[in-house]
Amino acid sequence: MLEALGVSHLAEGVYLRLLQHPGRTTGELCDELAKDRATVTRALAELADRGLAEQTTAELSGRWTAVAPDIGVEPLLQRREEELRRTRLRITELMRSYHRGQEGAGSSELVEVVMGRDAIAGAWSQMRAGAKDQVLVFDRSPHVQSSRADDEFEFDLIARGVVWRVIYECAQFRDAEALSRISALMEAGERSAMLPQLPFKLAVVDSRWALVPMYSGAELESALIVRPSLLLDALVATFELHWSRAMPIPDPQHALPGDVLPQHLDRDLLVLLAAGLTDESMARQLGVSIRTVQRRVRMLMDLLEARTRFQAGIQAARSGWL
């Protein structure tokens, strides 16, 4: 915990021990922590230097006490925040140097080419880590990271207050775990929608960066990082246009109106219907028989006066079911 503030792991352990058991001598700390005297003495000196511990007497047998966290730790936090503030102020200067180097190599400062799946995954991770306001995503194949790794990152950012809006291409729902995965993300706060097709993969972070493949295809081996420019504005506008046309995926916590029998089954069924899955695939994902799926689909389509399955999803959205 305190390592982020520049306190060594050993000194943190001594500090936590003193918080719980104040008034310990150096010898007692050696016995309790199973460390030699020189090691504990160094840790105590570090704590004293950082204002986290103090000795009651100057004698060798003097007892040590921890300084209260609100008094001792707060100044360290303030110093680290000041260091971070100064670092942020230097980012513009660092970017100028970076762009000059890129221009010398013949590259544009507005668009950066990233080659290789690992490099693309690393760029995406760095972009997300810097998100402050919102992330916009066209989710379609191929992917450079596992769904689990992506989801864990997203959960963390949503908890920090970052808004996530994602449009899924219907083909993504052919994955047996997709529906439960997306439901978990929506419960965490993701705003989700779907379309039969998306023009390309896309991720936009805070209208500051966009990540987009250089080429379409089954493999993702090269991508572009786009910085603030008319091109980035066009990519954001493209997302917003598709968002306005997309069918929202129902909130797992939102109940369907009326008495349409098992609420969760019908909600999931409408999503899979709109995604174009077969009866067999839907039955397998929902854990019911094919006959149950066919019966529920027919009932929902009649209720919504829909001629096609995708139309049933659209009608459900218009009716406020989704």
Q: For residue range 245-276, list pLDDT tens digits in order.
A: 787 776 655 544 444 444 555 667 777 776 66
Whether domain 2-67 has CATH 1.10.10.10: the reply is yes
pLDDT band at 146, cuts 50/70/90? low
pLDDT band at 4, cuts 50/70/90? low
- When the pLDDT of each residue in the chain is averaged and rounded to a whole number, the result is 79
| DSSP, residue by residue, 149-184 | HHHHHHHHHHHTT-EEEEEEEGGGGGSTTHHHHHHH
Please tell me the least confidently modeled range out of 6-20, 120-134, 229-243, 260-274: 260-274
pLDDT at 272: 76
- 20 is written with which tokens? 């719980």
| Bridge partners (DSSP) listed for residue 111 | 226
Average pLDDT over residues 35-50: 88
In the chain, the percentage of residues whose pLDDT exceeds 90 is 10
CATH of domain 263-318: 1.10.10.10
Average pLDDT over residues 183-196: 85
pLDDT at 172: 74
37 has a pLDDT exceeding 70? yes
- 109 is written with which tokens? 């400062």
pLDDT at 225: 92
Same fold for the domain at 111-248 and the one at 263-318? no
- What's the 3-state SS for 102-130? HHHCCCCCCEEEEECHHHHHHHHHHHHHC
CB 154 within 8 A of CB 164: yes
pLDDT at 318: 57
Q: Which CATH superfamily is domain 111-248 in?
A: Endonuclease Chain A (3.30.870.10)
Please tell me the least confidently modeled range out of 45-59, 95-109, 208-222, 289-303: 95-109
100 has a pLDDT exceeding 80? no
Q: Between 9-20 and 26-33, two packed helices, what is the crossing angle to 10 degrees? A: 110
pLDDT band at 106, cuts 50/70/90? very low
Task: List the Cα angle 9/10/12 in 5-degree steps.
Answer: 65
pLDDT at 82: 77
Domain limits, the chain? 2-67, 111-248, 263-318
Nearest to 63 by CA among 33, 13, 18, 32: 18
